[in-house]
Amino acid sequence: MASTPTCNLRIPGPTPLPPRVRQAMAEQMISHRGADFEALYREVVQGLAPIYGTRGDVLLLTASGTGGLEASVVNTLSPGQKALVVTIGVFGDRVAEIAAAYGVPVTRLSFPLGQAAEPEAVREALRRDPELDVVLVTHNETSTGVTNDIAAIAAAVRSARDPAPLLVVDAVSSLGAIEMRMDEWGCDMVVTASQKACMTPPGLAMIGVGPRAWPWIERAKLPRFYFDLLAARKYAGRANTPYTPAVSALYGLRAGLELMREEGLEAIYARHRRLAAKTRAGLQALGLRLLPDPAHASDTVTAAYVPEGCDGEALVERLAREHGLFVGEGQGKLKGKILRVAHMGCVDDRDIEEALVALERALAR
C-alpha cells in the first residue's frame, strides 16, 4: 500500500495524503483528556477558522461527512418542522433523505443534473412557504461536479424575509479548495470532512457554527446524543470533545492545515482553479463531453460523459486495474454514464497529466 503512487488516486475523496500527513498519522496515542490533546485540538480549530472564514465555533465530530450532515439536520430541526433542501444531485438528495428519516417534512427544490441552484428560485420557495425556517444546500455537488454560488444563495435567503431562515451549507467537497466566507456571506452552519481538501484520512467531520445558529440548536427537538452540538460546544470550551475523538485524524489534520497555511489559501484556490481548467480542457481534447454547466463547473471534481456506447462502470474499473488510475464513477441516475476526475487537495499538474494519459490509453482500446 505504501508504494501506491499518490498521484493516481483521482476520486473525490479520500484524497491523497502528503508525506507530512502520513507521518503525523503514525504518532503515538496520548490521553484525550490531557494538555497535549487540548493543544492539538486548539491548533486544529485555529487552523480551520480562516478556511471557514468564521469567528464562530468550529466543532469536531468523529464521523464521516454524512455524520456531519446528519448532525446539521438533527441539531437545527424539530419534528414536524419544515425544511427547504436545495438539491442539485446525490449529496443534496442525501440531506433530504436524512431529514426524511427523522420525520422532517422536506420541500425539495431540485435542479437538473449538471445545473447549479438558482438563488432567485430559493428566495421564491422561501417566500411561497413562510414555514420553511431552515435551508440546507450543497456548496459543491460531488456527484455532478457543480459548484453552487453560495454567496448569492445566502443573499437570497437573507432577503427572503426578516428574520431570515437558517442557512446550513454542505461544504464537504469544497471547503479548503473553493472559497468560503461563512461570516461575510451569512452562512449559519457549514459542514465539511477531513478527507477532502484538507488532505487527511476520513474520520472527522467539522462543523462551523455561527452565532445565529445557536438559538436554532437550542430549540431543535429532533433526538440526538452522539451528534448533539450542545454537548460538543460544552466540551469545545475546554478544547475537548464529549466522546473519545479520532486522535490520529486530528494529528493528520493538524499537519494538513499546516501545509495549507504554508501554501496560502489564495494560492490553494488558484491551484484548484488551474487544475480544474486543465482537467476540463484535457477531457474535452479526448472527445468527452463535460456534464456541468460551464458557468458552475467545480474546481475540485470534473464530471464528463463517457463516449456513446461505452460502459462507464467497466471503464472506471479498467482504469483502476490496468492503469492504476482511480477515478469516480457515476452515482444514482448517472451510474455507468459518466466518470469523475477529482483535482482536490494534494494534487498538481503532473497528476492531472498522468490521469489524462491513462484515460487516453484506456479509451483507445
Site residues (CB under 8 A) for a copy of itself?
1-2, 4, 6, 9, 11, 13-17, 22-23, 25-36, 62-67, 70, 97-98, 101-103, 193, 195, 201-203, 222-228, 242-249, 251-252, 320, 326, 329
Closest approach, Cβ 231 to a copy of itself, in A, equals 10
Closest approach, Cβ 351 to a copy of itself, in A, equals 13
Closest approach, Cβ 201 to a copy of itself, in A, equals 4
Closest approach, Cβ 249 to a copy of itself, in A, equals 6
Contacts of 94 (CB under 8 A, 6+ apart): 66, 69
Q: How far apart are CA 286 and CA 144, in angstroms?
A: 19
Task: Please identify which residue in the block is written with the cell numbers 457554527.
Answer: 209
Q: How far apart are CA 280 and CA 298, in angstroms?
A: 10
Contacts of 259 (CB under 8 A, 6+ apart): 18, 20, 21, 199
Closest approach, Cβ 165 to a copy of itself, in A, equals 22
Q: Decide: 35 and 242 in contact? Cβ < 8 Å.
A: no
Nearer to a copy of itself, 123 or 340 (CB): 340
Closest approach, Cβ 266 to a copy of itself, in A, equals 26
Nearer to a copy of itself, 6 or 110 (CB): 6
Q: Decide: 71 and 190 in contact? Cβ < 8 Å.
A: no
Nearer to a copy of itself, 181 or 226 (CB): 226
Nearer to a copy of itself, 14 or 119 (CB): 14
Closest approach, Cβ 104 to a copy of itself, in A, equals 9
Nearer to a copy of itself, 125 or 355 (CB): 355
C-alpha cell at 270: 488558484
Of the candidates 117, 126, 110, 135, the residue with the CA atom closest to the CA atom of residue 159:
126
C-alpha cell at 129: 412557504
Ramachandran angles phi, psi of 273, nearest 5°: -60, -45
Nearer to a copy of itself, 55 or 234 (CB): 234
Nearer to a copy of itself, 12 or 292 (CB): 12
Cis check: omega of the bond before 163, within 30 degrees of 0: yes
Amino acid sitting at position 127: R
C-alpha cell at 302: 470534473
Q: Are strands 140-141 and 134-138 parallel, antiparallel or unpaired?
A: unpaired
C-alpha cell at 196: 477532502
